[in-house]
A and B are shown apart, each in its own frame.
Chain A
Amino acid sequence: MNRVLGALKATYNFFAGDAILLVGVALAFVLAALLGEVAKAPNPVVAVVFVGCIISGLATTLGRELKGRKKP
């Protein structure tokens, strides 16, 4: 069991290593796929949502680094 968990953790660390980034990227791909395939949204809308989600993931994980910090 420990080995399985260890392997899972190593895989997660190798590919993502950051839960917020992973969720942001997953959300970007899932939302863009849904918008494009299901809602048949226009191409620019899909592209903007896709890139926007990626940037939001990065900004959110960086924002989390500010937790408990104040401007000196």
Chain B
Amino acid sequence: MTAQLWAVVTASFLASAVEFVEAFTIVLVVGVTINWRSSLAGTFGAIVALAATVAVFGTALVQVVPIDALRLVVGILLVLFGLKWLKKAILRYAGLKALHDEEAIYEEHLAELRAKGEGTSARLNPFGVTTAFKSVLLEGLEVAFIVITFGIQANDTSQTTGILLAALGAAAALVLVVVVGALVRAPLQRVPENTLKFVVGIMLTTFGTFWGGEGLGIAWLGEDLFLLVLVAFYLAVAGALILWLRPYAPAKATPTAQELEQPAQEEVAG
């Protein structure tokens, strides 16, 4: 194999790994915070849609799919979902929202389901399915773009060989990301529920801002590395908002450590 073909495999591996990490992060948080059935259903749906799209368009995909429009739509939805989660988590950390109101209703509903021998973890959650679906679809399309464009550029051999090698690089990246993800899944499920909800809110808002911005034509400094800057920025802003709200919390509404440390899957999205 020539140096150029090695370069194609390596570049495809690295670029695809970044995209897979982004998609897998969202699949993982949906699985841990909502349930794995919804997360995997969304992922499977996206893989089917992606396979159909690639099968129909082949290498013409790069010209046919308006990736910026897709980024814009996914970005808008993720920012909306993320802010909704973040708002609730901030209110709870600030002590303005305890396990009252709709959460009490939810707990009651959960108790009823448990009494009937059912659990929320067995039910498909539309929010979870949609979130996993659109993230995997967008990132999967980006990987397809990477494989096709890198593969076509390997011009010292046939395009098919180039694309095949680029696809191998992407597949290796997928295996690596899935293995690492499977290793971190168990520790994640022991994280307190509100902490997870807060982190998910930050992640969804960050990815939504990043993809939405790309869809609008914003060129983020350092490209995908700017995600880390956005995470740090949103964490700082959320921390400042909690400090601002905390003095207004009534003493009795301040959540106890026990309330904040509910298991991760004790609450559905809302």
Contacts and interface: CB of A to CB of B under 8 A. Distances in A.
Interface of A: 14-18, 21-22, 24-25, 28-29, 32-33, 36-37, 43, 46-47, 50-51, 54-55, 57-59, 61-62, 65-66, 69-72
Contacts of A58: 83, 86-87, 237, 241
Interface in B81-97: 81, 83-84, 86-87, 90-91, 96
B91 A54 contact: no
Contacts of B81: 15
Nearest to B246: A71
A28 B245 CA distance: 24
Contact of A62 (B76, B90, B218): B90
Contact of B205 (A29, A46, A54): A54
Contacts of B72: 29
Contacts of A61: 87
Contacts of A72: 248-251
Contact of B216 (A21, A36, A55, A66): A36
Interface string B205-225: 100010011001111100000
Contacts of B241: 58-59, 62
Interface residues of B, number: 36
The B contact surface, by secondary structure, is helix
B83 A54 contact: yes
Given A62-B90, A65-B91, A25 B245 contact: no
A16 B84 contact: yes
Given A50-B218, A58-B86, 8 more contacts: A18-B83, A25-B79, A32-B218, A47-B220, A50-B213, A51-B230, A58-B241, A62-B91
Interface of B: 72, 76-77, 79-81, 83-84, 86-87, 90-91, 96, 126-127, 205, 209, 212-213, 216-220, 230, 233, 237, 241, 244-245, 247-251, 270
A18 to B, nearest CB: 6
B84 A69 contact: no
A15 B86 CA distance: 14
Nearest to B201: A58
B248 A54 contact: no
